[in-house]
A and B are shown apart, each in its own frame.
Chain A
């Protein structure tokens, strides 16, 4: 078991954002995390990465608790992430962005980090723009840079928060390929929040569905697709 989330609960003021959520992730798995807006998916990421502290519940990574660790510590344990609203470092070049990920993740030494960074840029087909200031990239390239930066930290687990949002079909295909590559080439496990459900169904091994802060379903894509509650959660009510 790479990651275990047990009975996780988070409240903001009176608002219950996550309610007793439990699931586990196996080594090498790609886990889809879906659910309507406001279901608590990003909050879950923020809890895992130490941005927030849970009110109740446990998070264990490789058997050790992550609760109360600061975000940078969580990263050094081997969990990297991307953000729903792309967060790159606009005043750095693409290579510098990724290098920062490599240096402060788990690479040792500048030389190794540089090689690592270049390797990541290769995988994501960003080598050509490596000296471009990140501020000047297209939206989809920013997404790619963010992913490259995350995997440059050599994580065991990557948390991807809507990497496909705002991308056109070609770009979507590209990133789906990248996600598969990350696992196959680097052996990184992935939890993937996504609204583009077809993509999730095509790539993920398993899917967890959240709605109003609760886990309403978990299983293989085929099971989830047939799950009545999931369809309701997404389309509002049963189809006529």
Chain B
């Protein structure tokens, strides 16, 4: 077997090499005198969710730049305004990597606070990590029930309320004259964490509004072929549906719907239908399809329009989510100022007790259990633009019924 005996020496060498690399990693000196607030975030900058991560990162950076333009956040403990330093680490759209990235933010970058990662499969493990290292984690885009179940002490979660969010389609449907309403509804929720959690809640909400699903089945993630399912829908005479799936899957689904000739008067997409890319991929076929959204630049709140416009200037497209991330930063900054300290526990306390006024999401108030909710919006593709149809506050458009494919 001729074992090589030079291994140990090589190993020693490589240990030296590793040590050298460690030194190469910049290590923050724990400052006796604070001159900045370090806020870290792990985000999917690469991998499947890198689009979302990029958007979220942009919103965080805007908020940090905006507050720094005002000189920073006044912290009573130091009796001065401290600028915000934002550090974003990549999680490669992988929970394990996200946890490792938190470890680095905490130990190398010595962050004072953590801002939210993206989507439940990444937010939950990072919330656990924050719990381990006792750093305050200001989270969002994580369905509330799983988060509540864990009884986290070091994080909060700002997200839509399941009951409200799942009621949206029914509230919208209720605005349609009874004769035009779809008769048979289907619930198609993606076979993922979110889909599994939301599925039953949709049913519950439907019941409350007097709607029943005549068909429901999980939708396989990333499948290139949904025709089997669409055939089932057709054979059951379905004419309205809620589709919870990623954007690629939604594109495939809608295309095959048209191919197979399944006519839906009302298709309310969740998660996969709001992107500009969805429209680009489907063109006119996307018309009349509804989409969810965390936020709208048509909201009548301070700076909402401005932030939306800034995003448009930068990326030449509209977003229905950046406002949420921007508002998340706004509430964190306000809470830090209110707490007057960089102590995580106290800032969390401040988050729970402060009434946040005038964010781009409107006013926000956290519950004692660490959650806060915002209303989920609904949009409909009309002439290539997302028109807000819900909530029915100022600026909302009426919903349109989709004609059959051959009548368009």
Chain A contact residues, CB within 8 Å of chain B: 91-93, 96, 133
CB neighbours of A96 from chain B (8 A): 1
Q: Is B11 an interface residue (CB 8 A)?
A: no
Q: Which residue of B lies closest to A92 (CB)?
A: B1
CB neighbours of A92 from chain B (8 A): 1-2
Q: Which of B1-21 contact A (CB under 8 A)?
A: 1-2
Q: Once bound together, how far apart are the Cα atoms of A160 and B136, in whole Å?
A: 76
Q: Once bound together, how far apart are the Cα atoms of A92 and B1, in whole Å?
A: 5
CB neighbours of B1 from chain A (8 A): 91-93, 96
Q: Which residue of A lies closest to B2 (CB)?
A: A133
Q: Once bound together, how far apart are the Cα atoms of A17 and B1, in whole Å?
A: 38
A181 to chain B, nearest CB (A): 29
B172 to chain A, nearest CB (A): 71
B156 to chain A, nearest CB (A): 59
CB neighbours of A93 from chain B (8 A): 1-2
Q: Which residue of B lies closest to A135 (CB)?
A: B2
A138 to chain B, nearest CB (A): 18
Q: Once bound together, how far apart are the Cα atoms of A92 and B2, in whole Å?
A: 6
Chain B contact residues, CB within 8 Å of chain A: 1-2
A73 to chain B, nearest CB (A): 26
Q: Once bound together, how far apart are the Cα atoms of A96 and B1, in whole Å?
A: 8
B293 to chain A, nearest CB (A): 63
Q: Once bound together, how far apart are the Cα atoms of A92 and B3, in whole Å?
A: 10
CB neighbours of B2 from chain A (8 A): 91-93, 133
CB neighbours of A91 from chain B (8 A): 1-2
5 further contact pairs, Cβ within 8 A, besides A91-B2, A92-B1, A93-B2: A91-B1, A92-B2, A93-B1, A96-B1, A133-B2
Q: Once bound together, how far apart are the Cα atoms of A96 and B2, in whole Å?
A: 10
B60 to chain A, nearest CB (A): 55
User: What are 8 pairs between A and B in contact, CB < 8 Å?
Assistant: A91-B1, A91-B2, A92-B1, A92-B2, A93-B1, A93-B2, A96-B1, A133-B2
Which 8 A/B pairs are nearest by Cβ-Cβ distance? A133-B2, A92-B1, A91-B2, A91-B1, A96-B1, A93-B2, A92-B2, A93-B1
Q: Once bound together, how far apart are the Cα atoms of A93 and B1, in whole Å?
A: 7
Q: Once bound together, how far apart are the Cα atoms of A135 and B287, in whole Å?
A: 72
A66 to chain B, nearest CB (A): 32
Q: Once bound together, how far apart are the Cα atoms of A5 and B2, in whole Å?
A: 42
Q: Which residue of B lies closest to A90 (CB)?
A: B2
B150 to chain A, nearest CB (A): 52
Q: Once bound together, how far apart are the Cα atoms of A205 and B2, in whole Å?
A: 41
B192 to chain A, nearest CB (A): 48
B347 to chain A, nearest CB (A): 61
A145 to chain B, nearest CB (A): 15
Q: Once bound together, how far apart are the Cα atoms of A103 and B369, in whole Å?
A: 67
B104 to chain A, nearest CB (A): 41
Q: Once bound together, how far apart are the Cα atoms of A65 and B24, in whole Å?
A: 70
Q: Which residue of B lies closest to A89 (CB)?
A: B1
B21 to chain A, nearest CB (A): 33
Q: Once bound together, how far apart are the Cα atoms of A59 and B37, in whole Å?
A: 86
CB neighbours of A133 from chain B (8 A): 2
Q: Which residue of B lies closest to A93 (CB)?
A: B2
Q: Once bound together, how far apart are the Cα atoms of A133 and B4, in whole Å?
A: 12
B6 to chain A, nearest CB (A): 16
B70 to chain A, nearest CB (A): 69
Q: Once bound together, how far apart are the Cα atoms of A91 and B1, in whole Å?
A: 5
Q: Once bound together, how far apart are the Cα atoms of A63 and B1, in whole Å?
A: 39
Q: Which residue of B lies closest to A131 (CB)?
A: B2
B72 to chain A, nearest CB (A): 65
Q: Once bound together, how far apart are the Cα atoms of A143 and B2, in whole Å?
A: 21
Q: Once bound together, how far apart are the Cα atoms of A5 and B1, in whole Å?
A: 39
Q: Once bound together, how far apart are the Cα atoms of A169 and B145, in whole Å?
A: 87
A149 to chain B, nearest CB (A): 15
B333 to chain A, nearest CB (A): 64
A206 to chain B, nearest CB (A): 41
Q: Which residue of B lies closest to A134 (CB)?
A: B2
Q: Once bound together, how far apart are the Cα atoms of A93 and B2, in whole Å?
A: 7
A144 to chain B, nearest CB (A): 20
A139 to chain B, nearest CB (A): 20
A30 to chain B, nearest CB (A): 35
Q: Once bound together, how far apart are the Cα atoms of A128 and B2, in whole Å?
A: 17
Q: Once bound together, how far apart are the Cα atoms of A133 and B2, in whole Å?
A: 7
Q: Once bound together, how far apart are the Cα atoms of A38 and B26, in whole Å?
A: 72
A18 to chain B, nearest CB (A): 38
Q: Which residue of B lies closest to A96 (CB)?
A: B1
Q: Once bound together, how far apart are the Cα atoms of A133 and B1, in whole Å?
A: 8
Q: Once bound together, how far apart are the Cα atoms of A208 and B1, in whole Å?
A: 40
A82 to chain B, nearest CB (A): 22
